Amino acid sequence: MQKFLRFGPRLLGLWAILLFMTIPSGATSLRVMNLEDLVGNSQRIFSAVCQGVSSGFDENNLPYTSYSFLVTDGIHGVANQQVVVIKQFGLAEPIQLDNGVTQLSRIEGMPRYLPGQEYLLFLNQDSRLGFSSPIGLLQGAFRVQGRGTSRTVINGMGNANLLIDTRKSIQQRVRERQQNLSRSAPVALPDELVRGPVSYDNLTRLVRGLLAGEAFDRPAATRLLGREGQQ
């Protein structure tokens, strides 16, 4: 720790570079990722209850926050009842170092998890330095609400990204939305029908289908996750 305090200001700039070296490719991407992208880029998909949180500096003097999870539904890459530890880059809360000058805070957009809360996570494998984070950051971390068959999930984007056609450019999507609004009777686009909490069972059904190689039927997914699926 003394070495860190002595060279702390110099290491601060290095951390920004190391962020992209320590976290798996795709995990830190802030581009819009729909459900197909989340599943296609994930090595581990599971729901789990957060058991504990710890923060500090690792053996490389890099800031981290470590979360332990007990898996309740191992969908891909992990087993039920397995304990999974996720080491995320950055600190969950700001801290004041011993020198009384440097204050560090968490990485903007990096999810935080509360002990006792259940989450549905889409993760890559750990990096060579042991770091990981959800695919697409907040897009790949869903909070599970409710119990049993009434459970719902919502991610840090309010689920607005789930059915967006990411094969189209932002300009194309904006143009389609403008054309739709100019109609005398605008219709709801797929991504507009899926906002807010969606059924856990319905979402994971789609996830398991994608993992099994099933073709993704966007209209059917819209009905399943959208207003019809919530009735």
Min mean pLDDT across 6-10, 29-33, 134-138, 175-179 is at 6-10
Residue 200 has a pLDDT of: 96
Parent domain of 203? 2-230
Task: Report the C-alpha gap between 183 and 185 in whole angstroms.
Answer: 5
Domains contained in the chain, number: 1
Q: What is the mean pLDDT of the chain?
A: 79
Residue 44 has a pLDDT of: 97
Task: Report the C-alpha gap between 66 and 68 in whole angstroms.
Answer: 7
Residue 81 has a pLDDT of: 96
- Is the pLDDT at 142 greater than 70? The verdict is yes
Residue 230 has a pLDDT of: 52
Residue 25 has a pLDDT of: 47
Residue 29 has a pLDDT of: 45
Alpha-carbon torsion angle 38, 39, 45, 50, nearest 10: 20
Average pLDDT of the residues in 124-138: 92
Average pLDDT of the residues in 130-156: 93
Average pLDDT of the residues in 16-35: 58
- Per-residue pLDDT tens over the stretch 146-203: 988 899 999 998 998 888 876 655 455 456 555 555 655 544 555 555 678 999 999 9
Min mean pLDDT across 2-6, 34-38, 208-212, 220-224 is at 2-6
Task: Report the C-alpha gap between 162 and 57 in whole angstroms.
Answer: 35
Residue 93 has a pLDDT of: 77
- Per-residue pLDDT tens over the stretch 47-60: 999 999 998 889 99
- Is the pLDDT at 11 greater than 50? The verdict is no
pTM for the complete prediction? 0.77
